[in-house]
């Protein structure tokens, strides 16, 4: 086993794929390949995923997620009634997005999806623990309408369900980042904040000042979930209050993955257009 290997955990019935990011004293630090989860495991519990599995349908599809979420995201987003597309609405000004991601692989994949959706985004790959240090500077530099704070997260092994941020790998850093952002933008409609990763402390993130956060039921969230939230918010009209029930019924998320509060969209009509 070595850093960079794609593996599964035998003790978890090989339920999902991880990449090895670090090995310390026969213990591997793992990042979820398709989910924003961080974990650790003994090397003896790991099994390398063979190349034939990597290209098989079994592993190309995300567990419990329709593969269309990745293959044709614009089509799925159009199921949400307030979603606008640039090609159909040249006279629209869309919300500006600032995306901070703690994982380089996820960062690149999300940037690629933003490009596919024709959305302009200022994106940075910054480790979760360092994100609070850059919030004020980046907000002043980019003046975004929407702030995405994401990366990896998970509950510690000893806790099954905790309300304490320190019982999570990175929730406390997301909380610090949200609080730093709210010192600059106090109004929930001036700056819309999404924060969290897999199994994040939803209550703590919302109490800190997020509009949307993961994960109400401490579930796993997909790599692209933050992008879909940002896309819907950016392209929904400022005159529209996002209907949370409709958002959850869109098929992109469930209320176990993401929750939030009523929030206005960020797109505006330009007249005359140009």
pLDDT at res. 57: 43
pLDDT digits (tens, 9 = 90+) for 246-266: 666 666 777 788 999 999 999
Band (63; pLDDT cuts 50, 70, 90): very low
Band (3; pLDDT cuts 50, 70, 90): confident
Distance CA 146, CA 148 (A): 7
- For 31, other C-beta atoms within 10 Å of its C-beta total 21
pLDDT at res. 80: 54
What residue spans of 18-90 are helical by DSSP H?
A: 51-54, 57-60, 68-71, 73-77
pTM metric for this prediction: 0.81
Report, as an integer, the average pLDDT of 202-223: 94
pLDDT at res. 14: 87
Q: Look at residue 79 and tell me whether its pLDDT is greater than 50.
A: yes
Name the percent of the chain lying above pLDDT 70. 80
pLDDT at res. 158: 65
pLDDT at res. 249: 67
Q: Look at residue 40 and tell me whether its pLDDT is greater than 60.
A: yes
pLDDT at res. 52: 39
The phi-psi region of residue 209 (left if phi > 0; otherwise alpha if psi is between -120 and 50; otherwise beta) is: left
Q: Which helix (H) or strand (E) holds 177?
A: helix 171-184
Listed in sequence order, the residues at least 6 apart from 186 whose beta carbon sits closer than 8 Å to its beta carbon are: none
Band (209; pLDDT cuts 50, 70, 90): very high
């Amino acid at each position: 086993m070595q850093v960079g290997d794609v593996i599964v955990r035998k003790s978890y019935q090989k339920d999902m794929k991880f990449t090895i990011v670090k090995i310390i004293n026969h213990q591997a630090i793992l990042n979820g390949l398709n989910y924003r989860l961080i974990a650790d495991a003994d090397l003896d519990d790991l099994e390398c995923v063979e190349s034939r599995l990597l290209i098989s349908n079994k592993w190309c599809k995300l567990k419990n997620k329709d593969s269309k979420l990745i293959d044709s995201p614009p089509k799925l987003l159009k199921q949400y009634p307030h979603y606008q597309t640039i090609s159909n609405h040249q006279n629209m000004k869309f919300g500006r997005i600032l995306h901070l991601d703690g994982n380089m692989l996820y960062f690149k994949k999300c940037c690629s999806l933003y490009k596919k959706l024709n959305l302009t985004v200022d994106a940075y790959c910054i480790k979760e623990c360092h994100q609070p240090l850059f919030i004020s500077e980046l907000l002043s530099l980019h003046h975004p309408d929407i702030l995405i704070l994401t990366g990896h997260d998970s509950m510690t092994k000893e806790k099954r369900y905790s309300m304490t941020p320190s019982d999570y790998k990175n929730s406390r850093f997301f909380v610090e980042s949200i609080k730093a952002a709210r010192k600059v933008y106090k109004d929930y409609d001036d700056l819309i904040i999404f924060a969290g990763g897999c199994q994040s402390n939803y209550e703590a993130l919302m109490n800190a000042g997020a509009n949307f956060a993961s994960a109400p039921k401490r579930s796993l969230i997909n790599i692209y979930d933050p992008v879909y939230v940002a896309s819907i918010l950016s392209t929904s009209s400022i005159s529209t209050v996002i209907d949370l029930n409709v958002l959850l019924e869109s098929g992109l998320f469930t209320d176990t993955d993401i929750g939030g509060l009523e929030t206005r969209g960020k797109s505006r009509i330009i007249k005359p257009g140009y």
